[in-house]
Structure 1
């Protein structure tokens, strides 16, 4: 068990089947939370929960499409019925579509917003509705440093993440009187399946570290690409009582890549 003050608390993590979501699920479980691993792919969710159970943690898996408000309500109901009251909700589920705007497909734009922005709305609303009467809880959204700095060929993604970040901060203002904290964690280039899908060559990580001036993209001053665990550690801090006086904050975990513009 951890000693972060979240032992036994129920934590819902979306996108928990892989990448940052999986790392967040593990980090919270290691701090003693009971993790509800949600993922569009129920098999991936079950794999995450099974791995945590094998390590002596308490976890359960739920298939859930965050694009569907009824599915989200059903999943959160199931979590509260099976495990108990949700104390922490972490929005990690996300999709990436890239390319120039002039060539962008309507379906790609719609999908970016359906998952990255509307999905965050659905999950956060469901969590908030249950947390408000209890007067406690945290909601944390994993956005992107692209939400704060323009990115060529990532306009839709950046816009959807900016929407999610501002939604989460605004929600934090509404929920502050109820003792509920809402924060954002904004990763930069992080070694995940989503990131690897961007790399067109074996030196993808090196190129991310070096930056691409022709795309107006700064490199990573700390000289390394992030690990999912780096992002998960930031989430675990913001969820914990150590961050009890922090809300509406956006914590960049990007090795300095945005120069915090």
Structure 2
């Protein structure tokens, strides 16, 4: 119960990773504010949690600055000051750059990068004034690895990664910590949407020379719970001396030094 008495606001809470993060933080005793664009799915997320009445669902499009500020006001009015903010909201659009439209580029950047900026900016000032807090951005190992047909997604995750680190530098003196979790291939609906053919799962594990994609040395896909465990660590006092870091949860896929 490391987060007992604390309030955690999670965006993208109805997605595979977001839902796992919500469950894990609730298990640690946090009161959860779960945000997503799907109100029905959000209610399902809250209903799954122990002590559901202690938590709240807040419908939100993270691309809307006014909506973000309003949502934060509702969270703090309903549950109390936010101690932990987790940026899980994100979308994936794929295709070669030659066919990438400006509209798609901007759609991905608005959600995956601007959304992180708006949510983090909203909570940062309040956390700083209270003298502490933890902001965790769920990015991707694609932020550092060129990927075929994923330019907009990779660029958005790179932007959210360096933004979170810059924010951590600016807030360090106030006691607010800002870190990044960078998953690789995770067994979620977003990952499955990329698969083609009966051997698609194994191809991800083995790697694909045709797309210059490395395999996974640990020989398995990550689960959403693998990512959630890392988020929970960064949200807790166990990581009290860790800030401006990006932790790769990718089974060694990135061969990162």
Could you say whether these structures have the same fold, taking a TM-score greater than 0.5 normalized by the shorter chain as the test?
yes
TM value normalised by structure 2 = 0.98
Retained in 2: the 8 A contact 1:18–1:44?
no
1:137 aligns with 2:102: no
Instruction: Please give the root-mean-square deviation of Cα atoms over the aligned residues, in Å.
Output: 0.9
1:56 aligns with 2:51: yes
Structure 1 position 204, deviation (Å):
2.2
Structure 1 position 206, deviation (Å):
1.1
Of the structure 1 ranges 171-180 and 205-214, higher mean CA displacement relative to structure 2 is found in 205-214
The equivalent residue for 2:190 is 194
The equivalent residue for 1:8 is 5
The equivalent residue for 1:185 is 181
3-state SS, counterpart of residue 193 of structure 2: helix
Find the aligned partners of 1:191 and 1:62 in 2 and give their Cα distance.
Answer: 26
1:156 aligns with 2:152: yes
Structure 1 position 260, deviation (Å):
1.0
Find the aligned partners of 2:101 and 2:48 in 1 and give their Cα distance.
Answer: 38
The equivalent residue for 1:175 is 171
- Aligned residue runs from structure 1 range 77-156, under 5 A: 77-156=73-152
The equivalent residue for 1:22 is 19
Find the aligned partners of 2:177 and 2:168 in 1 and give their Cα distance.
Answer: 6
The equivalent residue for 1:219 is 215
Structure 1 position 207, deviation (Å):
1.2
Structure 1 position 105, deviation (Å):
1.7
Structure 1 position 56, deviation (Å):
2.9
Structure 1 position 202, deviation (Å):
3.3
3-state SS, counterpart of residue 136 of structure 2: strand
1:255 aligns with 2:257: no
Find the aligned partners of 2:210 and 2:229 in 1 and give their Cα distance.
Answer: 33
Give the number of equivalent residue pairs. Answer: 256
- Aligned residue runs from structure 1 range 26-41, under 5 A: 26-41=23-38
Find the aligned partners of 1:155 and 1:256 in 2 and give their Cα distance.
Answer: 22
3-state SS, counterpart of residue 61 of structure 2: coil
3-state SS, counterpart of residue 10 of structure 2: strand
3-state SS, counterpart of residue 84 of structure 2: strand
3-state SS, counterpart of residue 48 of structure 2: helix
Find the aligned partners of 1:197 and 1:240 in 2 and give their Cα distance.
Answer: 33
3-state SS, counterpart of residue 221 of structure 1: coil
3-state SS, counterpart of residue 198 of structure 1: coil
Find the aligned partners of 1:66 and 1:113 in 2 and give their Cα distance.
Answer: 12
Structure 1 position 201, deviation (Å):
2.4
Deviations 1:213-238 (A, max 9, x none): 11111000100001000000000001
Q: Where in structure 1 do 4 or more consecutive aligned residues deviate above 3 Å?
A: none
3-state SS, counterpart of residue 89 of structure 2: coil
Q: Which runs of 5+ in 2 are unaligned?
A: none
Find the aligned partners of 1:246 and 1:11 in 2 and give their Cα distance.
Answer: 18
The equivalent residue for 1:208 is 204
